[in-house]
Amino acid sequence: MTSQVRPAPRLRWLPRPRLTSMQREAVEGFLFISPWVIGFLVFTAGPLVASLYLSFTDWGLVGSPKLVGFKNYAAMANDRLFWQALKVTVLFSGVGVPLGLVAGFSVALVMNQNIRAIGLWRTIYYLPAVIGGVAVARLWQGVFNSKYGAINTALALIGIQGPSWLGDERWVLPALLIMSLWGVAGANMVIYLAGLQSIPTELYEAAMIDGAGAWRKLVHVTIPMMTPVILLRLVMGIIGSFQIFTQAFVMTKGGPGTATNVLVYYIYTTAFTFFRMGYAASVSWVLFLILFVITIIQWQGQKKWVSYM
């Protein structure tokens, strides 16, 4: 008796569920942002969490980290170099940020005028903000050279002997402040210029009808309407000034003495010169907390002087 072999049943593909247009848009959006999300998790969030863990350890870059609790944070209270670095950073920020705000706002006021070849002038003033990093530091290192630098050469033409800008503790920080204005003013100028051009012309017309001159229009119209932009540049300026590193690393190596040993440079030398990775991580988190507190204070204080219309 022969058995009949039944044919294998056909596999029927299940119908794929149809996505709505909103669901397709959401899926496509997540696919497009996934490279950024993956990069953030791998290169930012991951190292951030790792640095927080390392701040509670004693690690010399070789071997396994050893947990020490809050020992690193407690050690900062008696660390003279840490307090010196904090002092230099606060001084640089306290002087440099207001100067950058005023310089950028002043340049923006001029660049907002209807003058000939205004596009070219705006480009010229913004160019320093495009060039940055080591190249600019090397350029200004030559400008501040005490023997053949451009500044001292110009001073010699009028009979003034220029100082040793990068070799004198009294002049090295002012030199870095002058250098910071070169690029910051241009970057601030673009933001301020966008804010100035968004101010309704009706406000100026009403001020003119009331008999306001140029100064009163500036004080009572322009500046109040620009306070949101000023707040933005103030917050970003303080954060950026506390992170100054390239100038100190390339031009002065934190010297002379500890005159330019800013916080980020101190973190760098602590980690990669003395191989105290745990302590360097703890200083980094203290820097983060300082900036966080300053930003919160600025955000809460805006209610007293920022005008939103």
Per-residue model confidence as pLDDT tens digits over 194-233: 999 999 999 999 999 989 999 999 999 999 999 999 999 9
Of residues 81 and 182, more confidently modeled? 81
Provide φ and ψ at 256, rounded to 5°. -65, 140
Q: How many folded domains does the chain comprise?
A: 2
Check whether residue 174 and residue 217 sit in a common domain: yes
Q: What is the pLDDT of residue 114?
A: 86
d(CA 220, CA 212): 9
Structural domain includes residue 48? yes
Check whether residue 46 and residue 84 sit in a common domain: no
58 is in which domain, residue-wise?
24-67
Structural domain includes residue 299? yes
d(CA 95, CA 118): 30
Check whether residue 88 and residue 41 sit in a common domain: no
Instruction: Give, to the nearest 10 degrees, the angle between helix 134-143 and helix 150-157.
Output: 20
Check whether residue 169 and residue 259 sit in a common domain: yes
How much is the average pLDDT of 82-96? 96
Check whether residue 177 and residue 239 sit in a common domain: yes
Provide φ and ψ at 62, rounded to 5°. -120, 135
How much is the average pLDDT of 88-106? 93
**Residue where one domain finishes, among candidates 67, 93, 121:** 67
Q: What is the pLDDT of residue 10?
A: 54
Structural domain includes residue 7? no
CB–CB of 242/263 below 8 Å?
Answer: yes
Which contiguous run of DSSP H or E holds residue 273?
Answer: none
In sequence order, what are the residues at sequence separation of 6 or more whose Cβ sits closer than 8 angstroms to the Cβ of residue 12?
none
Predicted model pTM:
0.86
d(CA 214, CA 132): 36
CATH number at residue 204: 1.10.3720.10
Check whether residue 48 and residue 176 sit in a common domain: no
CB–CB of 265/254 below 8 Å?
Answer: yes
Tens of pLDDT, residues 256-268: 999 999 999 999 9
Check whether residue 191 and residue 280 sit in a common domain: yes
* Helical H segments across 7-79, by residue range: 21-40, 46-54, 71-75
Tens of pLDDT, residues 114-158: 888 888 988 888 888 787 788 889 999 999 998 889 999 999 999
Tens of pLDDT, residues 166-182: 999 999 999 999 988 88
Check whether residue 59 and residue 151 sit in a common domain: no
Question: Mean pLDDT, the chain, as a whole number?
Answer: 90
How much is the average pLDDT of 283-291? 97
Tens of pLDDT, residues 39-72: 999 999 999 999 999 999 999 988 899 999 999 9
d(CA 124, CA 64): 52
Dihedral sign from CA coordinates of 90, 95, 96, 98: positive
d(CA 281, CA 48): 10
Q: What is the pLDDT of residue 186?
A: 79
CB–CB of 284/55 below 8 Å?
Answer: yes
Check whether residue 49 and residue 92 sit in a common domain: no
Closest residue by Cα to residue 248 from 239, 238, 237, 259: 259
Tell me how many degrees the CA angle 113-114-115 measures, rounded to the nearest 5: 100
How much is the average pLDDT of 182-202? 87
